[in-house]
Structure 1
Amino acid sequence: MQITASQVKELRERTGAGMMECKKALTEAGGDMEAAIEAMRKSGAAKAVKKAGRVAAEGQVVVAMSDDARKAVLLEVNCETDFVGKDENFESFAAAVAERALAEAPADLEALMALEIDGKSVETARQELVAKVGENVQVRRFVRLDSEGDRLGSYSHGVRIGVLVDIAGGDEELARDLCMHIAASRPVCVDQDQVPQESIDKEREIFSAQAAESGKPPQIVEKMVEGRIKKFLGEITLLGQPFVKQPDISVGQLLKEKGASVKRFVRYEVGEGIEKKAENFAEEVMAQVNAS
């Protein structure tokens, strides 16, 4: 029988499983929703579903780069503990997914999860990994860059921070130095032209209120505000920041000296933006005792 998109959507919402897994289960169950759910609970997918609600804020950021440095992927895969994040099965899975994303250029995360690694979909491999390591594992996000300049640079700080930078001019060493700077200094964007005007207006409003309390004349207050806005832009923009390896010059000055420019950059850090659950150890032990 014909399996509709709405059926697949409903099963995904009820189980938390992947699209391909849901479609397969519905097909095998002849479209019977409850039978599909029961079958998934009996299969390896059941363990993945049971763990889907756990907070996965550890893991790895992986970089995959083409030999000519013209294409690259930055990928974050999460798990629950640092221990599993260093597990060889987890590492192999993350690396394999990054390489597939580099080779196939999927349009989005759903397309990536449908790609095959070792004869099975990424989603199926993820669920099997969940069953093996006993933790929630999620492919959280990825970005694939095709260079708009002369080359891409990359840098990984352990497995927790990954950076890609797209530059025109310069050389491989400069590209790596820029990546290391971005990893350490966390710029928000390349230059002030990329800073949203509403962000600048908000900071100006805050600075104006602070400066007005000084009791100084309006013209002095205005100069104080403009000085703080300039400092703010210097702190959040790559070109305005002091270069970490040579703090007496800005990154913008460094690029000018090298005859280079930055087209764009991406910085991922494991778990950023994920709210980690604060655990009370005594309560956790008691919960385990009560459950036994």
Structure 2
Amino acid sequence: MTDRIRTDVAHNARVWNHWLGGKDNYPVDRAVGDHVTGLYPSIGEVARADRAFLGRAVEFLAGEAGVRQFLDIGTGLPTVDNTHEVAQRSAPDARIVYVDNDPIVLAHARALLTSSTGGTTEYLDADAHDPDGIVRAVEPTLDLHKPVAVMMLGILNFVMDTDEARAIVRTLMDAVPSGSYLVLTHPTLELGGEGNEDAMRFWNENATPPITARSGAEFASFLEGLEVLEPGIVSCSRWRHDVAREIRFPQVAQFGAVARKP
């Protein structure tokens, strides 16, 4: 595993961890992350708003929607209120499969593989570019005959080709039954994110993996054939937020949505 870890090139999972105030990163990650912040000062707000959106979405799905299975693709490094922790607070019997292929994340798998007594948490070392492989590997932890919440927060932006990104989503959603959900976030140059263009260019020249922003129309195309829940496609900080959270997390240039498979 260690031969897969590059400490001389910034990596998204570690830079994201830095933006969230974590310590699981290297000097190169902090240097690139700080330079991106200089180009796009609100990136830290984006990271925190994305994490808060995850909490609200999972709380809704495990609670009001009654979902008991979660497939979290692009897990990232563990932090507070990971998917299994939020889900199992509402539903101790919830079953969660985390998917990531970053060796640092894999090294921290023990921190993720903690579960309530009645539930299950597993970790899958796999690539989002291989959705068929993911589908084959999630069973028997997940029962694909029962509803699954497919979580893809900030991951499709690393699939540079939009047609391929759509195909990934279709493959995953075709594998789960009616009553399943898709949870997405994605960076954009809309919603006040125009300043992110220079930051993304710098990122693609100095870090890995490369990233792309998408428009609202492109984001909506990932949700075709699904029932988008209210309030629709919005800044992730504004998805079912309360007043206190609105003050803490102003609108950020990151689309968020939750949709149900009919």
TM-score scaled by length of structure 1: 0.22
Select the structure that is richer in helix: 1
Which of the two has greater strand per residue?
1
TM-score, normalisation: structure 2: 0.23
